[in-house]
Amino acid sequence: MDQSSHKYDVAIIGAGMGGLCSGALLANQGYRALVVEKLPFVGGRASSFKYRGYILPTGALYVETGGYVESVFKEVGATFGVRSFPMGICFRMDGKDYPMPQKGGLRQLVSTFAGEAEAARLMAAIRRAFRWNEPSSSISIRDWLLRYTSNDKVLAIFRGLSNYQCVNFRDEPAGEFMRQLKLSIGASAGAHPQGFLELMKELVRVIEAKGGHVWTGCRAQRIMVQEEVVKGIVVEKDGDDLEVLAPVVISDAGPHKTVELAGPENFDNGYLKELREKVRPLAYIGLVISSDRPLVDFEGVMVVPEGRRQMTMMCTSLAYPEYAPPGKHMLQAWAAPDSSFLPLDPAREIDMVVQDLREAIPQFDREAEIVHVSYWQKDWPMYRALPGALAQKTSVENLYNVGDGVAPLVPLGLPACAQSARIVVEDIRQRTKPAAA
Ligand SMILES: Cc1cc2nc3c(=O)[nH]c(=O)nc-3n(C[C@H](O)[C@H](O)[C@H](O)COP(=O)(O)OP(=O)(O)OC[C@H]3O[C@@H](n4cnc5c(N)ncnc54)[C@H](O)[C@@H]3O)c2cc1C
């Protein structure tokens, strides 16, 4: 390849939701984009792989429909091939199941355990938080609730809802919990019947159809910076180091990795301080369990809030039979570890979740086989940070971050990644034109 073929309008590090949405939006606007991905597949923590006949996610299970992600797909002409996800929630407490009606479900559940008067008081406080102001995020949602209730069952219900947001109840800031609860009202979601990889390949198709490239198995080694302005990236391709010149670089590798790749000496101290203090990755645990018959018969998400760990589980094969081999079912269980922010001890955490599963599912020992165990932390976390931690622009000119390390204040996870990409692309459009324009 001659030198000119390594010039792009934008170089993007990482083919996760943030990176691919950025690439597709830019390619659609006429920018020549290169996405480099160190793994052999695209999608990052929103991808999937086949294992023993099962389709397993690398992270995300579902994506909001009619929201930020779908709007990017629509705009760039990518097929959003998701099928409706069962949004129902059922709490399993003391061996009994409490399905939560979509409307008024939380109040009904709280009043079951705490009576009408306490439920009314708590719901009034939540409505006030929705209507007037989020509670302060300097306390956890658990500490916020203690002002209104000391009922263990009620606290457990909210512990379960925290797990639905994938954050430990004691660690989740009250304001963040309340914002996500409000955003979840009336939300709908879907999953790709063949797994997330197929969905993400659609964005690759758009980037390539519009003159861009996506190189998998290609690690960015360095971000080139001169006098606090970005110049491009150095990648390892087919065993060689290759310079890719680009006036704009977007990193989906996470803000900490971005600084490592560009060199901390190129950033201002205030930016580095914010990064250190605010961008803290969250940990999470997941198990995939196989059985001949469904281990739970509820189609949506089953919340098990009173165990050693806060746990949610779902018999995914009820809604997506394609995910399991013929004649088999697949239950997925997820739990926040003892602390979302401290390094986790995988063996101990998994042991806790297995004990909880055995108690929550009477036939577990007879019928269940654990097929796969995953944990997410550090460089490959649940989320790289909570929303609002850091802006997408870095202190290096024309170097941006996207993804869940710089999530804006929208629904957690994939919507936040897509919206971070939209914010960045809008800024690029204001500042630079494609070279070919
Ligand atoms: C268990 C779990 C369940 C989840 N469930 C949901 C859900 O149901 N719904 C939802 O909306 N969200 C969910 N999420 C959150 C969602 O998956 C993430 O927020 C989202 O996928 C993060 O995307 P990203 O673009 O920030 O980064 P990533 O997906 O991490 O992508 C970054 C990419 O950059 C690559 N990379 C890193 N360094 C380099 C380098 N030097 N060179 C080249 N490439 C590099 C990585 O390999 C990776 O592919 C879940 C997450 C987890 C872990």
Q: Give yes or no for residue 107 CB within 6 A of ligand 1.
A: no
Mean pLDDT of 281-287: 97
* Res 64: pLDDT: 96
- Is any ligand 1 atom within 6 A of the Cβ of residue 16? yes
Q: What pLDDT does 131 receive?
A: 94
Q: Does residue 437 form part of some domain? A: no
Q: How confident is the model at residue 436 (pLDDT cuts 50, 70, 90)?
A: confident
| Mean pLDDT for the stretch of residues 29-39 | 98
- Expressed in angstroms and rounded, the spacing between residue 45 Cα and the centre of ligand 1 is 3
Pocket test for ligand 1, best of 22, 45, 184 (most atoms within 8 A of CB): 45
- Cα radius of gyration rounded to whole Å, the chain: 22
Please indicate, yes or no, if residue 91 is contained in any of the structural domains.
Answer: no
321 and 264 together in one domain: no
Ligand 1 pocket check for 135: Cβ under 6 Å: no
Q: Is 250 helix (H, G, I), strand (E, B) or coil?
A: strand
Residues 242, 208 within the same domain: yes
Q: pLDDT digit string (tens) for 221-237?
A: 999 999 999 999 999 99
* Alpha helices by DSSP H, 132-278: 141-145, 152-164, 174-184, 196-209, 255-262, 269-278
DSSP 190-203: EE-TT-HHHHHHHH
Co-location of 153 and 288 in the same domain: no
pLDDT exceeds 90 at position 33? yes
Q: At what angle do helices 68-76 and 196-209 cross, to 10 degrees?
A: 40
- Shared domain for 139 and 287, answered yes or no, is no
CATH number at residue 272: 3.50.50.60
Give the H or E element holding residue 333. Answer: strand 329-335
**253 C-alpha vs ligand 1 centroid, how far in Å?**
9
Q: How many CA atoms lie within 13 A of 376 on its CB side?
A: 26
Q: Is the CB of 286 under 6 A from ligand 1?
A: yes
Cα(185)–Cα(183) distance, integer angstroms: 6
Q: Give the model's pLDDT for residue 62.
A: 95
**Res 437: pLDDT:** 67
Instruction: Kindly state whether residue 95 falls inside one of the protein's structural domains.
Output: no
Cα 388 to Cα 370: distance, rounded to the nearest angstrom: 37
| Residue with CA closest to ligand 1 atom 17 | 60
Instruction: Work out whether strand 399-401 and strand 248-251 pair parallel, antiparallel, or are unpaired.
Output: parallel
Q: What is the mean pLDDT of residues 268-291?
A: 97
Average confidence (pLDDT) over 300-324: 96
19 band by pLDDT with thresholds 50, 70 and 90: very high
The confidence score (pLDDT) of residue 283 equals 96
* Domain range for 343: 282-376
Ligand 1 atom with least separation from CA of 64: 11
Nearest-10 Cα torsion for 276, 217, 334, 63: 90
Q: Which DSSP string corresponds to 383-435?
A: -SS-TTSS-SB-SSBTEEE-SGGG--SSSTTHHHHHHHHHHHHHHHHHH---T
Residue 2 has pLDDT above 50, yes or no: no
233 and 149 housed in the same domain: no
Q: Note the pLDDT of residue 170.
A: 94
Return mean pLDDT, the chain: 95
Last residue of a domain, one of 142, 165, 185: 185
Residue 245 has pLDDT above 80, yes or no: yes
Nearest Cα residue to atom 5 of ligand 1: 60
Q: Is the pLDDT of residue 288 over 60?
A: yes
Look at 4-13, 400-409, 410-419 and tell me which has the smallest mean pLDDT.
Answer: 4-13
Residue range 292-321: average pLDDT? 96
Across 310-333, average pLDDT: 97
How many domains is the chain built from? 3
Question: Do residue 202 and residue 330 come from a single domain?
Answer: no
Distance CA 63, CA 82 (A): 8
Instruction: Decide: 67 in ligand 1 pocket, CB within 6 A.
Output: no
Any ligand 1 atom below 6 A from CB of 62: yes
Per-residue pLDDT of 175-222, as tens digits, reads 999 999 999 988 999 999 999 999 999 999 999 999 999 999 999 999
Q: Is the CB of 44 under 6 A from ligand 1?
A: yes
Domain match, 144 and 287 both: no
Q: For the chain, what percentages of helix, strand and coil (3-state, to nearest 5) are there?
A: 35, 25, 40
User: Where does the pLDDT of residue 31 fall: very low under 50, low under 70, confident under 90, or very high at 90 and above?
Assistant: very high
**Domain final position from 333, 355, 376:** 376
> 87: pLDDT confidence band, cut at 50, 70 and 90?
confident
HSE on the CB side for 82, CA within 13 Å? 23
- Answer for the pair 181, 162: CB distance below 8 angstroms, yes or no: no
Tell me: the pLDDT tens digits for 411-434? 999 999 999 999 999 999 999 999
Q: Which two three-digit tokens encode residue 59? A: 């992270």
Query: Which of 185, 208, 241 is where one domain is finished?
Result: 185
- Taking the alpha carbons at both ends of the chain, their separation in whole angstroms is 24
Say what the pLDDT of residue 5 is: 58
Q: Between 207 and 4, where is the model more confident?
A: 207
Tens digit of each residue's pLDDT (9 = 90 or more) over 98-145: 999 988 999 999 999 999 999 999 999 999 999 998 999 999 999 999
- Examine residue 97 and state whether it is found in any structural domain, yes or no: no
**In the numeric block, which tokens belong to residue 399?**
């170097």
Q: Please tell me whether residues 322 and 347 are part of one structural domain.
A: yes
